[in-house]
């Protein structure tokens, strides 16, 4: 276990108070409009997505009564989890019972392991869950039904589809309420994800489509950044110059979208002078089938969610 301490190679270190907290993006999170206090929470699988969700619970303006427990498989991954006085970190490599220990008495249990690992993990934790626990799935494709069948009937389930900008409070999360989750329990989970950005409640049937847009969406953005950077380098700019040009332009354009609240089509029009240069570039992108490509790409993501649901 690691409690607000640097994890040793073996995954254990004695608790201590960190004199200098690590650089944290938490200050960037928007002001709270939702509850500041959450019950004891376990995060099983504190990887890329899990740690982004965890960032909300570690905000200085949030209290987690009874503390937060986070688990990983390897001790080296446990060492990547930020230090915090209310956070205990366990790795199954060091303690094979880490997940059972983490969920004991926890009211909220977030499952952040890969989809193919979910079934084994649920079988492992089911006997140790509190009867009134709310299990929150981050796993792509895995249905509420799979969770509800694997867990005691008193345990509520909510399916979440967040995205990685949650790490800096700019996430978008889709939430689907399981049939055993009360409105009060769903509101609590909604408040938890509002700590890291916007929340959209949808019926479960829409979660895979939502995932193909906002769950995967950050990857589409980074891919576009990579491709425009490659085009800049091909035009003779150094990689450093290309990064400045492309990152600055994309970040600036996104900020303009947010700041003005304007329709993106209108913002695009303001760049695209009639008979000018941008018009030619947009023509090539359009004739190349970008719109169709996005439809096909998101369809492929949805199809993969269905495969994951069937266990492949
Ligand atoms: N990465 C993303 O942008 C998004 C991911 N998701 C979902 O989040 C889940 C995790 O994905 P990532 O964070 O990308 O993967 P990841 O590989 O970064 O994290 C998985 C974590 O699970 C841990 N783990 C593996 N087996 C474990 C076990 N038995 N007990 C405890 N911890 C264990 C690993 O040590 C690792 O820290 C997946 O189900 C994925 O579908 C959902 C939305 C977006
Ligand atoms: O690629 C995946 O399967 C996960 C779900 C959405 C984003 N990442």
The answer on 202 and 281 residing in a single domain is no
Residue 211 CB less than 6 A away from ligand 2: yes
Question: For the purposes of burial, counting CB atoms within 10 Å of the CB of 28, is it exposed (0-12), middle (13-18) or buried (19 or more)?
Answer: exposed
Query: Which segments within the chain are labelled E, that is strand?
Result: 2-3, 37-38, 41-44, 63-64, 68-72, 87-91, 108-111, 134-137, 156-161, 171-177, 197-201
Boundary-marking domain end, from 148, 180, 208: 208
The answer on 142 and 54 residing in a single domain is yes
Atom of ligand 2 nearest to the CA of 308: 3
* Whole-number Å distance between alpha carbons of 102 and 45: 11
Number of domains forming the structure of the chain? 2
Residue 298 CB less than 6 A away from ligand 2: no
Interface pTM (ipTM) of the complex?
A: 0.99
**By the 8 A CB rule, do 50 and 80 touch?**
no
Atom of ligand 2 nearest to the CA of 211: 6
A 10 A CB-CB count for 64 gives: 20
Residue 166 CB less than 6 A away from ligand 2: no
The answer on 279 and 170 residing in a single domain is no
* Ligand with minimal distance to 71 CA: 1
pLDDT at 30: 63
Question: Is the four-CA dihedral 116, 133, 212, 202 of positive or negative sign?
Answer: positive
The answer on 193 and 224 residing in a single domain is no
Listed residue (168, 161, 157, 169) closest to 132, CA to CA: 157
Extract the annotated binding site for NADP(+): 44-49, 72
pLDDT at 217: 98
Residue 215 CB less than 6 A away from ligand 2: yes
The answer on 65 and 117 residing in a single domain is yes
pLDDT at 310: 86
* Whole-number Å distance between alpha carbons of 246 and 311: 39
| pTM (2 d.p.) | 0.90
Extract the annotated binding site: 44-49, 72, 99
The answer on 198 and 238 residing in a single domain is no
Boundary-marking domain end, from 178, 208, 238: 208
Residues spanned by the domain of 163: 2-208
Residue 92 CB less than 6 A away from ligand 1: yes
- Note the Cα 240 to chain centre separation in Å: 29
Q: What is the DSSP string of 127-158?
A: GGS-TT-EEEE--SS--HHHHHHHS-TT-EEE
Span from the CA of 280 to the centroid of ligand 2 (angstroms): 34
Atom of ligand 1 nearest to the CA of 164: 3
A 10 A CB-CB count for 184 gives: 9
Whose C-alpha lies nearest to ligand 2, atom 5? 140
Residue 56 CB less than 6 A away from ligand 1: no
Q: How far is CA 196 from CA 54, 127, 168, in A?
A: 9, 31, 7
The answer on 108 and 43 residing in a single domain is yes
Residue 45 CB less than 6 A away from ligand 1: yes
The conformation of residue 189, written as its DSSP 8-state character, comes to H
Span from the CA of 216 to the centroid of ligand 2 (angstroms): 5
Residue 71 CB less than 6 A away from ligand 1: yes
The answer on 232 and 202 residing in a single domain is no
| pLDDT means over runs of 10, the chain (312 residues) | 35 31 48 79 98 97 96 97 96 98 98 97 98 98 97 98 98 98 98 97 98 98 98 98 98 98 98 98 98 98 94 77
Boundary-marking domain end, from 176, 208, 240: 208
CATH of the domain at 238: 1.10.3730.10
CATH of the domain at 103: 3.40.50.720
The answer on 260 and 198 residing in a single domain is no
* Ligand with minimal distance to 52 CA: 1
3-state secondary structure of 197: strand
């Amino acid at each position: 276990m690691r409690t607000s301490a640097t994890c040793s190679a073996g995954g254990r270190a004695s608790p201590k108070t960190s004199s200098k907290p690590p650089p944290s993006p938490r200050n960037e999170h928007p002001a709270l409009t939702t509850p500041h206090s959450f019950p004891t929470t376990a995060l099983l699988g504190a990887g890329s997505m899990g740690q982004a969700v965890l960032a909300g619970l570690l905000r200085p303006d949030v209290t987690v009564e009874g503390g937060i427990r986070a688990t990983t498989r390897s001790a080296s991954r446990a060492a990547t989890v930020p230090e915090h006085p209310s956070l205990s970190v366990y790795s199954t490599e060091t303690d094979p019972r880490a997940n059972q220990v983490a969920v004991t008495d926890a009211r909220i249990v977030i499952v952040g392991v890969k989809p193919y690992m979910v079934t084994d993990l649920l079988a492992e934790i089911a006997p140790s869950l509190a009867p009134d626990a709310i299990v929150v799935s981050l796993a792509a494709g895995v249905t509420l039904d799979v969770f509800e069948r694997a867990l005691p009937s008193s345990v509520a389930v909510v399916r979440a589809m967040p995205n990685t900008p949650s790490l800096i409070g700019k996430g978008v999360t889709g939430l689907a309420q399981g049939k055993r989750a009360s409105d009060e329990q769903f509101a609590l989970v909604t408040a938890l994800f509002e700590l890291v950005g916007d929340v959209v409640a949808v019926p479960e049937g829409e979660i895979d489509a939502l995932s193909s847009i906002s769950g995967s969406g950050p990857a589409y953005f980074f891919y576009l950044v990579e491709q425009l950077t490659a085009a800049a380098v091909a035009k003779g700019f150094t990689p450093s110059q290309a990064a400045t040009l492309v990152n600055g332009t994309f970040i600036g354009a996104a900020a303009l979208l947010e700041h003005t609240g304007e329709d993106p089509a209108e913002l695009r029009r303001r760049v695209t002078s009639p008979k000018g240069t941008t018009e030619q570039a947009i023509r090539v992108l359009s004739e190349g089938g970008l719109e169709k490509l996005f439809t096909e790409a998101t369809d492929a993501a949805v199809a993969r969610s269905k495969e994951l649901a069937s266990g492949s």
